[in-house]
Amino acid sequence: MEFEASFLDQVVQAVCEAGRIIVQNNDKPRSIRYKGRNDLVTDTDIAVEEDLKARLSRLLPESSFLAEETSGSAFLGDLTWVIDPVDGTTNFAHGLPMVATSVGLWSKGQIVLGVVNLPLLGEVFSAALGKGAWMNGESIRVSETRDLDQALIATGFPYAIEENIDEVLAQLRAVLPATRGVRRPGAAALDLAYVACGRYDGFYERGLNSWDTSAGVLLVGEAGGNVSRYDGSPYALGDADIMASNGHVHAGLQELVARGVS
């Protein structure tokens, strides 16, 4: 399905308008409930998701939703918005600004539009399939770093950390001494956007959901990067693990991460 350039602008505007809820609620007390020991949801998550669904429905009345808080068990249809209203809810609950809203549009087998908004950091990333990627309206590209020892890598930890602790630590033991460093902001959509704009040279994580990665995967691809699974096979939404990079360090990072895969 082809979309006019102005349509992406409308989607960006809708996502940014919903992001104002995060900004407005940032200094207010949080109402927190638990989906799991480390898996939080706040009233802000719900409010942003409902606001986005209303706005995006007006843009594409025929579309459906796969959204973390209110329709997380839905299926991808011919035209589906894939939404994470507040990626980094734990950060938000603790007053940290590394919070993202991720919106991807799935159309007949692929993500064709993606927006990652960082409302507390004042940055919005967008991409359209075959058209490129942007941050605050300016074109972005992945980094040119070619040597792993000069590469800054990001990662994340799965909610089921007890079940994955040995693998997580083994991977860190392999990646940390071989690179310039490892960062863990706690929001995968932000991590992928940072790979797309060249701040990170690579990223890997296990246990993510479709709404965590839908927009970010398109951002990285349109910015000239590489996205795969740990073993190098193509990544599909919902896969158990993901690796993204500038392309130059992909094989080396893949080799390092493989040392920790059980």
Quick check: 2 pLDDT over 80? no
Length of the chain: 262
Query: Could you read off the pLDDT of 161-173 as tens digits, one per residue?
Result: 788 899 999 999 9
Q: Which range (45-49, 227-231, 245-249) has the least confidence?
A: 45-49
Single pTM value for the model: 0.94
The answer on whether 147 is annotated among ligand-binding residues is: no
Residue that terminates a domain, selected from 139, 162, 194 = 139
Is 162 in a helix, a strand, or coil? Answer: helix
For residue 86, the enclosing domain spans 5-139
CATH code, domain carrying 152? 3.40.190.80
Residues 131 and 156 in one domain: no
Strand partners, 82: 66, 104
51 annotated ligand-binding residue: no
Pair 180, 203 in one domain: yes
Report pLDDT for 261. 72
Q: Tell which of 139, 163, 194 closes a domain.
A: 139
Mean pLDDT (the chain) is 92
106 plus 42 within the same structural domain: yes
Total domains in the chain come to 2
In this prediction, residue 100 carries a pLDDT of 98
- Please indicate if the annotation marks 166 as binding a ligand: no
Residue 64 reports pLDDT greater than 60? yes
pLDDT digits (tens, 9 = 90+) for 152-163: 999 999 877 788
Domain identity same for 160 and 130? no
In the listed set 94, 114, 139, which residue is the last one of a domain according to the structure?
139
113: domain CATH number is 3.30.540.10
Give the number of other CB atoms < 10 A from CB of residue 77.
14
Q: Which residues, in sequence order, are CB contacts of 122 under 8 Å at separation 6+? A: none
The residues, any chain, with a CB within 8 Å of residue 204's CB and separated by 6 or more, are 153, 155, 171, 230, 241, 242, 243, 244, 253, 257
Q: Is the same domain home to 178 and 234? A: yes
Contact 56, 113 (CB under 8 A): no
Q: 87: annotated binding-site residue?
A: yes
Same domain as 132, residue 30:
yes
Q: What is the mean pLDDT of residues 48-75?
A: 89
**Three-state secondary structure call for residue 35:** strand
